[in-house]
A = this chain, B = another copy of it.
Amino acid sequence: MQKNTRGSLIWLRLTRFTHQSNLLSNEFLKQYDLTTAQFDVLMQISTYEPLTQSELAEKVTVTQGGISRMLTRLEKEGLIVRKQEWKTKTISLTDKGRQKLDNAFEAQLAFQSSFFEECLSEEEMKTLYTLMSRVQRNSEKKELPNR
């Protein structure tokens, strides 16, 4: 028993870090009255707007259902609008949403960066980015069943 592979140890570090940094990030974004998930979605909308729900779901790698619920919450807060257009719904930021994102943007990026900058050199960050890009792309090409 108890024969952990190197891969499984990496996997554990990754999940623990992601979980922890998510909590800290939520804590940090409280001052802007946003959550990490909301920030992520608003970022994608701001970059690609106008776009449909399905396109957005693809970008943030969440299911159709997930994005539907998330947008319902964001719409209730008045940060985005959905316009029925043909049979699809087109999503864009409201002024309020854009402003909220602008407020948080720089601080949040700096916050995210600090996790790495505090303990890695420029060179090491470059290496980590290269390795994780490979790993992430590899995971993406493994198809999920439905979708």
- Residues of A participating in the B interface, judged by any CB pair closer than 8 Å: 1-11, 13-24, 27, 40, 47, 61, 105, 109-110, 112-120, 124-129, 131-140, 142, 144-145
Contacts and interface: CB of A to CB of B under 8 A. Distances in A.
Nearest to A3: B109
B136 A7 contact: no
Contacts of A137: 119
A110 B23 contact: no
B139 A8 contact: no
A128 B126 contact: no
A10 B132 contact: yes
Which of A126, A129, A131 is the most central at the interface, judged by chain B CB atoms within 10 Å of its CB?
A131
A128 B135 CA distance: 10
B139 A17 contact: yes
Nearest to A126: B6
B11 A21 contact: yes
Given A2-B47, A24-B144, A27-B144, A114 B7 contact: yes
A6 to B, nearest CB: 6
Given A7-B114, A119-B134, A135-B119, A129 B13 contact: yes
B6 A140 contact: no
B8 A113 contact: yes
